[in-house]
Structure 1
């Protein structure tokens, strides 16, 4: 999954999709400093969009360093393709060595999805 630096622009949640699909939740606590993280996160964000079945990603980071990324995929094959992507694998190894104090990954099947958007006049 990709991780993005703290966003400085307005963001919107990923739109609801027709279930079933999958959510990959990556929760992390970063080490101090950027150490090349931002550039790699941007690159991973570009690469994951090339994975057939990638539906989008929601991301947030607290001032204390806790990051939560939820990437949505149409099926388990798309998740597996991203997990095994060579450049992504290298970034994950580097992340364990340099960027993360700890992280957890949870994969869930989404069986219900809906959204809301306020009409602006």
Structure 2
């Protein structure tokens, strides 16, 4: 069964939280987003991702990484660099990026 939740290892690990508000421009966005997930999945240290976007254009993507070094390497990946530049120029009215160390993680069915 497919799940929207990333499967992560025991803590600690890192989360990159990308909050964004989309612009009206959309040419190439969906294809690039899919390609970035494909590339990230092949990047050493990538653990998974979770993403959602509302009808108002506000979205959050959280990617999980084994280390800060893995995050830094992803930031330097050539296609990812181009996608970031295009996003800043065309796809996002505003964005925020936060990097956090995950010290505890737990889940389960609602109580």
Matches of 1:95 and 1:14 in 2, distance apart? 24
Runs of 4+ in 1 over 3 A off after TM superposition: none
Counterpart of 2:18? 26
TM-score normalized with structure 2 length: 0.91
CA deviations on 1:46-94 (whole Å, 9 max, x unpaired) are: 0000111100001010110001000000101110111110110011001
Contact kept in structure 2, 1:26 and 1:104, CA below 8 Å:
yes
Counterpart of 2:87? 95
Counterpart of 2:7? 15
Matches of 1:45 and 1:113 in 2, distance apart? 23
Q: Equivalent of 2:67, from 64, 75, 79? A: 75
TM-score normalized with structure 1 length: 0.84
* Structure 1: gaps (5+ residues): 1-9
* Structure 2: gaps (5+ residues): none
**RMSD of the alignment, in Å?**
1.5
Counterpart of 1:6? none
Alpha carbons of 1:30 and 1:108: their partners in 2 closer, same or farther (altered >3 Å)? same
Does residue 106 of the first structure (1) align with residue 98 of the second (2)? yes
Contact kept in structure 2, 1:28 and 1:67, CA below 8 Å:
yes
Matches of 1:116 and 1:16 in 2, distance apart? 14
Aligned length: 109
